[in-house]
Each structure stands twice: as C-alpha cells, then as structure tokens.
C-alpha cells in the first residue's frame, strides 16, 4: 500500500524525530551508541550523525515551503498548487 504524501503528516513526523531519538538513546552507555549489529550496519551514533548532516545540507530543504503550508493550500501529493 502506498501512502500519499501529505505535508502536514510529514511535518508532524519531522517534529517528533528529535524527541523520539532522545528517548531511545539518552543515557545509554557509550559502547552501545558506537556498537554495530553486524556487517553492513551502522551504529546509532552514525545514524544520528547522518540525519544531522542531511538536516544541514539535505535536498529535503526544497520541501520546506510545501511543509510550511496548510494542507488545504497544497496541491496533489503535497506539491504546490498549479
């Protein structure tokens, strides 16, 4: 099942992400934050670092104008109205 993109839903997820990560990772021993589950995996620290670097330079910034609009102002699939 494909879920259509809704700007309000995306904004809600983005707002919750820092708190969710904080709840999962705060207070864990350093060794857990830098541990791997196996080959071709990433540590929690690397995942958060990746999210932060994407937040600074990521192409998602192009969606900011769409995400900041009220759902009624968005076109199909969250695109600006034509």
Q: Kindly report, residue by residue over 2-15, the tens digit of the pLDDT.
A: 888 888 888 888 88
Q: Could you tell me if residue 67 is inside a domain?
A: yes
Q: Could you tell me if residue 34 is inside a domain?
A: no
> How big, in percent rounded to 5, are the helix, strand and coil portions of the chain?
65, 0, 35
Number of domains in the chain: 1
Q: Could you tell me if residue 62 is inside a domain?
A: yes
Q: In 3D, which of 71, 80, 76 has the Cα closest to residue 8?
A: 71
Which range marks the domain in which residue 54 is found? 39-72
3-54 pLDDT per residue, tens: 888 888 888 888 888 889 999 999 999 999 999 999 999 999 998 888 877 6
Q: Could you tell me if residue 60 is inside a domain?
A: yes
Instruction: Report pTM.
Output: 0.56
Q: Could you tell me if residue 55 is inside a domain?
A: yes
């Amino acid at each position: 099942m494909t879920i259509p993109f809704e700007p309000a839903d995306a904004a809600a997820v983005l707002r919750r992400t820092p708190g969710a990560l904080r709840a999962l990772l705060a207070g864990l021993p350093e060794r857990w934050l830098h541990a791997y589950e196996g080959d071709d995996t990433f540590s929690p620290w690397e995942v958060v670092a990746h999210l932060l670097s994407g937040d600074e330079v990521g192409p998602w910034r192009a969606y900011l104008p769409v995400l900041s609009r009220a759902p009624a102002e968005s076109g199909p699939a969250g695109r600006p109205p034509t």
